[in-house]
Amino acid sequence: MNTLSYKTKSIRKEDVQRDWYIVDAEGQNVGRMCTQIASILRGKHKASYTPHIDNGDNIIVINAEKVVFSGNKWKNKIYLRYSGYPGGQKKRTAGEMLAKKPEAIVEKAVRGMLPKNRLGRAMFKKLFVYTGSEHPHQAQQPKSLEV
């Protein structure tokens, strides 16, 4: 019998090391970019990934108004909201979202790829999306991330 025993190490929330990354969304396909962002927010890129711990890094997305959809999604993709009242369902196409609130396109795409629980909500709080190339996180010295 082998006397060596290997145990899987689970990281504790006190031991998490968070980095800051910056992503330039100019010319990026929304779905392909957001899958990689969601993976980094969850911490799946780290060897110390633990499913029940928020081990992910912080992500800053700039130039959110310059994202790209393939095909006719600017006209055909519909974002739905519901107020909770009868007749309270509201629709916007992707083109209308780009005109009114371009950050919401990236935010809604990433939110849909994260877990639907307390842990997913905590992960989503580490995503910062901005239109334009300016952001207030210079002090964190974010590293550039190619997606």
How do residues 15-28 score in pLDDT, each as one tens digit? 999 999 999 999 99
Listed residue (60, 62, 63) closest to 140, CA to CA: 60
User: What confidence tens digit (pLDDT) does each residue in 29-67 have?
Assistant: 999 999 999 999 999 999 999 999 999 999 999 999 999
* Beta pairing, strands 58-62 & 89-93: unpaired
Residue-range domains of the chain with CATH: 18-70+100-144 (3.90.1180.10)
Joined together, the tokens standing for residue 6 give 């290997």
Query: pLDDT digit string (tens) for 82-110?
Result: 999 999 999 999 999 999 999 999 999 99
Query: What confidence tens digit (pLDDT) does each residue in 114-125 have?
Result: 999 999 999 999
CB burial of 59-93 (b: ≥16 within 10 Å; e: otherwise) equals bbbbbbbbbebeeeeeeebeeeeeeeeeeeeeebe
State the Cα–Cα distance between residues 138 and 50, nearest whole angstrom: 29
